[in-house]
Amino acid sequence: MDCPLARLQSLALPEEESFAGNLAAGLARTPKEIACKYFYDAAGSQLFEQICELPEYYQTRTEMMLLGRHAGEIAALMGENVELVEFGAGSLRKVRILLDEAKNIGAYTPLDISGNYLGDVVRALASDYPALTLRPLIGDFTCLLEIPALPGNPRRAGFFPGSTIGNFRPDAAAGLLRRMRASLGGGGLLIGVDLVKDPARLHAAYNDPAGITALFNKNLMVRANRELGADFDPDAFAHYAPYNASAHRVEMYLVSLKRQSVTIGSMQFDFASGEPVHTEDSHKYTIESFRELAARAGFSPRAVWTDEERLFSVHWLESR
């Protein structure tokens, strides 16, 4: 099957920024920060896949279990003749769970920022689902997107698993949901959201004893060294990921273990001993607090599924 990658047209770009630009600006700021979307180069994506396998990281396996358990019900809510649009498609592992059950999904539009990876995984999907209309698109899901209509105008449903929504502050998350709703042109959204829970459980998920999450965090510096010729010493920084209970989020930092300077090209950045670089927020919601957020973004929250331990949730939202 031939499914060429199309580059999407963005109507509103929350300014496209290079890793070099983000890094230079973020390290010049106080407090220092690096945007979490830069975790996912080839090495970082592989480390993230390893995180998903960790016994402490319950999110991925719980969400996949929920999708499998409720795929029939989800399919029924989506209706007939559906085009599923996945925001930030990645490995395409989760959509297979839906496709295996939901025969009403006739078309699948995976959207991802990385064209190389998308091309490979889409080819594999095409051979496993020969009847599926596949329309991979390269684009940034944080933007408002003009997704051309498919022939026959199938009803659109969005798919945004993995609790990636947690990487955004609640106001930004509401804005993102609003843009997704507009990009879908109405239609529903199936979204995975990690839940608030015992802080010890959250802490364990981001501080695995095998040190994979630390490597994932420090990969930002390894990547800067490789791609930008920076001279970070990753061993001179500590992975620090506490749960901030009043803000309902895990905050991830790289903390300088000594006073040191790092050069990136002609720029020098000074770190005090103990100085943090903020690298990620991972917001957690209650089922109710997420439904309120969705309503703020113009969705009517409909069905919600959770596991026995209430670790993770999957929500079906409909456009109002």
Residues in contact with ligand AVJ by CB under 6 A are 51, 59, 162-164, 166-167, 206, 213, 280, 282
Identify which of 271, 273, 195, 274 has the alpha carbon closest to the alpha carbon of residue 240.
Answer: 274
Q: Quick one: 101 or 140, whose CB is closer to ligand AVJ?
A: 140
Eight-state DSSP code of residue 295: H
Q: Considering beta carbons, is residue 63 or 83 the nearer one to ligand AVJ?
A: 63
Q: CA 234 to CA 154: how far, in whole Å?
A: 49
**Which residue sits closest to ligand AVJ, CB atoms considered?**
282
Half-sphere exposure of 309 (CA within 13 A, CB side): 12
- The burial class, CB within 10 Å (0-12 / 13-18 / 19+), for 80 is exposed
Pairing of strands 260-264, 249-256: unpaired
Q: How far is the CB of 84 from ligand AVJ (least distance, A)?
A: 20
Smallest distance, ligand AVJ to C-beta of residue 104, A: 28
Shortest Cβ 280–ligand AVJ spacing (Å): 6
Task: State the minimum distance, in angstroms, from the CB of residue 164 to ligand AVJ.
Answer: 5
Of 175 and 298, the one with the shorter C-beta distance to ligand AVJ is 175
CB of 37 to ligand AVJ, least distance (A): 10
Closer residue to ligand AVJ in complex, CB, 59/256: 59
62/213 with CB nearer ligand AVJ:
213
Closest separation in Å from C-beta 110 to ligand AVJ: 17
Report the nearest approach of ligand AVJ to the CB of residue 66 (Å).
Answer: 15
| CB of 250 or CB of 297, closer to ligand AVJ | 250
The answer to whether the CB of 224 falls within 8 A of the CB of 23 is yes
- Smallest CA-to-CA distance from 198 within 310, 306, 307, 281 is with 310
User: Three-state SS for 193?
Assistant: strand
Contact 54, 216 (CB under 8 A): no
- At 29 the three-state DSSP class reads coil
Query: Which string of b and e fits 272-284 if b means at least 16 CB within 10 Å?
Result: eeebbbbbbbbbb
CA distance 113 to 118: 8
Cα separations in angstroms, 67 against 64, 192, 223: 5, 9, 34
Instruction: Closer to ligand AVJ by CB, 216 or 269: give it.
Output: 216
